Every structure is written in structure tokens, then in C-alpha cells.
Chain A
Amino acid sequence: GNSVTQMEGPVTLSEEAFLTINCTYTATGYPSLFWYVQYPGEGLQLLLKATKADDKGSNKGFEATYRKETTSFHLEKGSVQVSDSAVYFCALSDTGGSYIPTFGRGTSLIVHP
């Protein structure tokens, strides 16, 4: 079956530090990959996505590249801000037929001033 594995948090950084949150996946078909962000007290919002190998998704300074050879979709940002503090979820939708999207367990990011 499909699965998504994220690094455990919390990840604690100082403002302007470089961020990497690792995400690896297993899938039976040809998945699309997503990063969602959940701010405190809110639902999940799409941050970025990539639908095929070597695609790079980007938004709000965050980037992630779909790496089929390493089955990874790591989230990066060059300089984090306090306002980036949130929980980040890696997810996949498998075009192999399953209608049940698979989410990772989420990684909490805390950015200190």
C-alpha cells in the first residue's frame, strides 16, 4: 500500500535559518505529491504540489522537488520567519486507482525570533 514518512518534529529554528523537512513515500502507481500547512486553529491549506518526476513545486519561498529515484519530496526554505511556525504535512495522491489520499504524520515547525 501507499505510505508517506516525514521526519519527526518539532523542528525548532531561529528566524532566517534554512529549513529542510524530509518526506519519503511509497506508492503503487504514479503519485502526485503535496505539501500542506496547518496554522494553529486552522485547517490544512495547500502549500505546493508536484505532479510528475523532477517537477519542482514552489510557493511563499518554500520549494520541493519530486525525486522519483529517491522517492522523496523534501520541503525547503532558505530563510524562515516566525510566521512560518505551523505543522507541515506531506501527502500523496496515487493515480493508480486509490481514492484515499495518504498523509504523513505532520512535522511541527517552531521558529523563534
Chain B
Amino acid sequence: EAQVTQNPRYLITVTGKKLTVTCSQNMNHEYMSWYRQDPGLGLRQIYYSMNVEVTDKGDVPEGYKVSRKEKRNFPLILESPSPNQTSLYFCASRPAGGGLNQPQHFGDGTRLSIL
């Protein structure tokens, strides 16, 4: 089954404790991205990657890091989480073929609470 898998689905942690949210897709997609969803603000892109070793900032990259060492994986790293990063996070992927006309495939989300 084609899917984007995020882990963990839920995490409660404390300020300053480094955490990683993993994202893996099994569709051989080139393009992957991370979003955060906040009430009243919709989805905002954090980082995206066009292919292995190619990453770039989205609209709200501050406080986050990403890496793309393999095509299927795109982890989101919070080196020193803060309470304002409490949010619902989504990973998404799409193929490069067809360009921007291709829709994105989303994971089921990771709810992070930073105390």
C-alpha cells in the first residue's frame, strides 16, 4: 500500500530536549516536505526537499532542521524544542514527474506537545 508513515504519532516532551520525527514514504517520490498545522493558520511549510541531499527552507523554518540522506526518508529534527513548537506536524511527498500539478500524499500527522 502506498503510504507516508510518520513516527511517533504523539509526543509530549520538555523544553530543550532534542527530538526527531521520522517520515518515510514507499512511493519512490522525489519531493518531500514538512508542514505544521495550527488553529486559524492552516498549513505552513517548514522545509522541503526536491531530492536526496537537496533541501530548502519553507515559510517557517526557524527552530527546525531536516536531512535527506535517502530518497525514502525525511526526518524533522528539533534540536532545542520550545513551547511555541507545540503543533500538529505533517509530512508529505509527491513525484517530480508532472511537476507542480501532482498532488501531495500526506502522513497521518504527529502531535507534539512541548512543555
Contact = CB atoms under 8 A, between A and B. Distances in A.
B43 A100 contact: no
A87 B16 CA distance: 33
Interface residues of B, number: 25
A106 B90 CA distance: 15
A89 B42 contact: yes
Interface in A29-78: 31-32, 34, 36, 41-46, 49, 51
B101 interface: yes
Contacts of B50: 99
A56 to B, nearest CB: 15
B100 A95 contact: yes
Interface string A89-101: 1000111000111
A41 B41 contact: no
Interface string B1-39: 000100000000000000000000000000100010000
A9 B50 CA distance: 34
Contact of B109 (A43, A93, A100, A103): A43
A46 B42 contact: no
A101 B45 contact: yes
Nearest to B31: A99
Given A31-B100, A32-B100, A99-B56, 17 more contacts: A36-B103, A41-B109, A43-B4, A43-B108, A44-B43, A44-B104, A45-B106, A49-B101, A93-B101, A94-B100, A99-B31, A99-B100, A100-B45, A100-B48, A103-B43, A105-B42, A106-B43
Interface of A: 31-32, 34, 36, 41-46, 49, 51, 89, 93-95, 99-101, 103-106
26 contacts: A32-B101, A34-B103, A36-B106, A41-B108, A42-B109, A43-B106, A43-B109, A44-B90, A44-B92, A44-B106, A46-B103, A49-B101, A51-B101, A89-B42, A93-B100, A95-B99, A95-B100, A95-B101, A99-B48, A99-B56, A100-B48, A100-B58, A103-B42, A103-B44, A104-B42, A105-B42
